[in-house]
Amino acid sequence: MLAECLIPTTAPQTTLARVVEFFVEAQERFGAARAFGIGSFGPIDLDPGSPTYGRLLRTPKPGWAGADVRQALIERFERPVAIDTDVNAAALAEAEHGAGRGLRSLAYVTVGTGIGGGVIHDGRTRYGSTHPEMGHIVVRRDPRDGGFAGVCPFHGDCLEGLASGPAIQARWGAPLDSLAARSDALDIIGGYLAQLVVSIALLTACERIVIGGGVMTDGALLPRIREAASRFISGYLPVARGDPTLEGYLVPPALGERSGIIGAALLAQRMR
């Protein structure tokens, strides 16, 4: 890694101008880039045959709907620019250089401001017509959580509406690690996230699931998710056979917070 920087996400033009500026400077120091790779927040149109390929779709981020992140780089540098979601990029990095090394399939889930996930098989990040939106699955409600309406602007109490960082904040007024009724909260949130783990395992049969993101920095949460997922799976799932506690099946990221940026670099590498 030759250079990196953190640019806050403000308006698209301001933000993208600073991205371009970073690369102008970096190329002065290190030579011309042969390709660019972008791991962006979504939703993005990832269908190469679509007229809006590479553009952001409807998003609550002000000004970003319709923004063409890729085009800003193409216009300035005239080089190939790969784009995928941040979470698909992170999944790719974990699959190739992190917790999925040696496996053919891996899922990556991030639990933070939102909940998202990507699935890699044989190095591919995409299968259907676009990226997954798995944070919005319907989950069975925990009776101890009754009455909380959820915070998802689209669905109310989908998984993201119940178990994302903002959902936890809205429900209890604080992050998980500072709660008085902490054990119950960990159980409730762990039970919701476990349902995504179970669905990924049952629908994709992937060999391992990596779970990271801001909410997961509370280290007490992962064991609760494993417990609940293991209860749901009940020894049924071939992928988790010989691993009843899921300690090898459901793991933290091996690349920590760097999986997204490493994944974007891998996307660029593939474009050369």
Binding stretches for a copy of itself (CB under 8 A): 43, 45, 57, 104-105, 117, 119, 121, 126-134, 136-141, 154-155, 158, 195, 198-200, 202-207, 232, 234-239
What's the min distance (Å) between Cβ of 127 and a copy of itself? 4
What's the min distance (Å) between Cβ of 217 and a copy of itself? 25
Of 240 and 268, the one with the shorter C-beta distance to a copy of itself is 240
Q: Which helix (H) or strand (E) holds 118?
A: strand 115-121
What's the min distance (Å) between Cβ of 47 and a copy of itself? 9
What's the min distance (Å) between Cβ of 192 and a copy of itself? 10
What's the min distance (Å) between Cβ of 251 and a copy of itself? 16
Of 92 and 268, the one with the shorter C-beta distance to a copy of itself is 92
Of 31 and 48, the one with the shorter C-beta distance to a copy of itself is 48
Q: Is 250 exposed, middle or buried (0-12, 13-18, 19+ CB in 10 A)?
A: buried
Of 59 and 217, the one with the shorter C-beta distance to a copy of itself is 59
- Alpha-carbon dihedral angle through residues 182, 186, 189, 191, given to the nearest 10 degrees: -140
- Alpha-carbon dihedral angle through residues 30, 35, 36, 37, given to the nearest 10 degrees: -120
Distance CA 230, CA 224 (A): 10
- The residues facing 115 across adjacent strands are 111
Of 60 and 256, the one with the shorter C-beta distance to a copy of itself is 60
Q: Which helix (H) or strand (E) holds 19?
A: helix 12-30
Say if CB 210 and CB 201 are below 8 A apart.
no
Q: Tell which phi-psi region holds residue 150, choosing left (phi > 0), alpha (psi between -120 and 50) or beta.
A: left
